[in-house]
Amino acid sequence: MTKLDPETRIPDPIELDAIEEARLRAAAGLAPIRSSTPEYAGFDQVGIPDRPPQTEREREVYSLEEGEMLINMGPQHPSTHGVMRLVVKVRGEIVVDIDPVLGYLHRGIEKLCENATYTTVLTYVDPMDYLATMHNEHAPAIAFEKLYGIRPPKRAEYIRALVVELERVSSHGLMMGFLALDMGGLTPILYAFINRDEIVDMQSAISGQRMLFNFFRVGGVNFDTNDEFLSRLGTWRGHVLKNIEMNERMITDNEIFRARTINMGTLSGADAISLGVTGPNLRASGVPFDVRKAHPYSIYHELEFDVITQQSGDSYARYLQRIAEIKQSIHLIDQIMDKMPHGPVQAQVPGIIRPKPGRAYAAIESPRGLYSVYSISDGGPNPYRFRMRDPSFISLQAMPKLMPGRLVADTMAIMASLDPVMGGVDK
């Protein structure tokens, strides 16, 4: 690993003249030039970067016509679901264009994983999509098992499916709350957290952690179920539907909520496929694509369930889709508990895994959509390349498509209905 010679560096396609010039001026001891200082630029010019636009699209977003201005929503905005920045071009209250600016939470997990052994990779992926941590571990675990050519015992697969479906219930439940919160409803989010807290307690009982579980292993899971987990699961199962319904009563038929979500942010099925939107958002647009059915992994081919879809593809359909999937997941949990076999939960694997050179692709259905891992082994103890496709990263591209013509108030409501998680977006 030597540093590339500057001469062989590829010519940068971007016009970096301004940056070059700034560097030269700094080297010569001159003060930097600013194309516009805030005092003289005028109020509507605030927020335009003081460098030439790098691409066609950037020029489009950052050039203002009469009566337009840019608003930076984020990175410290109360409801951007983490640290992201939406550059919103508005004309009065009407959104003209929107440009998501990412990277505030970028930790370079892919690069980190290339320097970690296969077992420790599973700890690095945890904080990606922090509302679906178990799912984050699931796909790499499957990919590494494919690379190593090993299959976890049946009971391990069932425990995996169980914790993953529990996580789906908690994540979808939170989406209900966040959607209402971004419209100003204070209560549903706290009702959702009651449900999530119980699930987190369960996960803590089985894995020893409350958020970053590190529960999956190559070839199995870390622990078998224990009494505390099972008793908590039983109690939770007794009243979870009542909890969900309590929250639903706050939201579903609320006149204001309906007025703000029906026909808002409508995404057609064809557009959703083209934009790479997956998961509940895609199914809400009427496309019955669910990795659990389309390409069954783990033990999903042994479970009975149908792919739920909605027709309209608007924010309300995305919300209804989440509720339907919560109920479906609870149904799946019942089936898993019925069918759970006995046996070991961990296959025999060495401490340091050295798979044969090869490639493996594993995709799972995370609460936000298709989450996949593409891993390449060169025979060494750590992956040569470890690539993660995060569904919320891709779903964000729908924002510039959905927003034009809507109001500023809808920005957050529509974004919340897409349910992105910034930890996953920024990797």
Partner 1 sequence: MDFELLLGLGRFVLATTLLLLLTVPTAFVVIQMEMKIIAQMNLRFGPNRIGPKGIFQSTIHGFKVLAKEDTVPDQADRSTFTLAPWMVFMAAAMSMLVIPFAPGAIAADFNIGIVYFFAVLGLSVVGLLVAGWASYNKYSLLGGLRSAAQMVSYEIPLTLSIVGAVVLAGTLSFSELIAWQLDHGWLLMWQPIGLGIFYVSSLAEVNRTPFDMVEADSELVAGPFTEYSGMRFGFFFFAEYVALFIMSAILVSLFFGGWLAPWPFPAQLGGFAGTLYGIFWFFLKTYIFVFIAVWLRATLPRVRVDQLMGMAWKVLLPLALVNLFITAIAVVVFDL
Partner 2 sequence: MGRRRALSTPALAGSLVRLLTERFGSDLRDLGTDEDTVEFTIDGARNIEVLTALRDDPDLDFFMLADEAAVDYGLDAHFEVVYHLFSWKHPAWLRVRARVDRSDPRIETITHLWEGASFHEREMYDMMGIVFTGNRDLRRIYMSPDYRSFPQRRDFVLPDDAADSPAAGVNPLERPETWDLSRFGDGSR
Min CB(272)–partner 1 separation in Å: 24
Q: How far apart are CA 176 and CA 180, in angstroms?
A: 6
What, of partner 1, partner 2, none, does residue 407 touch, CB below 5 to 8 Å by kind?
partner 1
| Whole-Å CA distances, 316 to 160, 232, 261, 267 | 31, 32, 5, 11
In the region spanning residues 254 to 293, those forming contacts with partner 2, defined by CB under 8 A, are 273-277, 289
Q: Tell me which DSSP letter residue 407 carries.
A: B
Which of partner 1, partner 2, none sits in contact with 250, Cβ below 5 to 8 A by type? Answer: partner 1
d(CA 145, CA 377): 12
CB nearer to partner 1: give 77 or 295.
77
**In the chain, what is the greatest distance between 2 CA atoms, to the nearest angstrom?**
75
Nearest to 125 by CA among 141, 136, 115, 138: 136
Which residue, chain included where needed, has tokens 């579903």? Answer: 252
249 in Cβ contact with 386 (< 8 Å): no
Q: According to the binding rule CB under 8 A, does residue 350 interact with partner 2?
A: no
Of residues 297 through 336, those in contact with partner 2 by CB under 8 A are 297-299, 301
Told to check if 417 binds partner 2 by CB under 8 A, we report: no
Q: Is 81 in the site for partner 2 (CB under 8 A)?
A: no
Provide, rounded to whole angstroms, the least separation between the CB of residue 362 and partner 2: 9
Under rule CB under 8 A, residue 58 binds partner 2: yes
With respect to partner 2, which residue has the nearer C-beta, 148 or 236? 148
Q: What does the binding site for partner 1 look like in residue numbers (CB under 8 A)?
A: 38-39, 43, 46-47, 69, 71, 77-79, 93, 180-187, 190-191, 194, 250, 254, 256-257, 259-260, 407-412
Q: Which is nearer to partner 2, 236 or 289 (CB)?
A: 289
Q: Give 351 or 405: the residue with its C-beta nearer to partner 1.
A: 405
Do the beta carbons of residue 174 and residue 192 sit within 8 Å? yes
* Contact pick of 376, 407, 408, 409 for partner 2 (by CB under 8 A): 376
Question: DSSP E strands: which ranges in 281-401?
Answer: 358-366, 369-377, 385-389
Q: 194 or 352: whose CB is closer to partner 2?
A: 352
- Report the distance separating Cα 212 and Cα 164, nearest Å: 13
Compute the least distance from the CB of residue 64 to partner 1, in Å: 13
Q: Is 136 helix (H, G, I), strand (E, B) or coil?
A: helix
Shortest separation between residue 321's beta carbon and partner 2, angstroms: 18
Q: Does 108 bind partner 2 (CB under 8 A)?
A: yes
Whether residue 144 contacts residue 386, with contact meaning beta carbons closer than 8 Å, is answered with no
The distance from CA 397 to its chain's CA centroid, rounded to whole angstroms, is 13
Query: What's the CA gap between 336 and 243, in Å, rounded?
Result: 21
256: partner contacted, choices partner 1, partner 2, none (Cβ within 5-8 A by kind) = partner 1
- Confirm or reject binding of residue 149 to partner 2 (CB under 8 A): yes
- Is 46 an interacting residue with respect to partner 2 (CB under 8 A)? no
Q: CA–CA separation, 3 vs 412, rounded Å?
A: 44
Q: Tell me if 102 contacts partner 2 by CB under 8 A.
A: yes
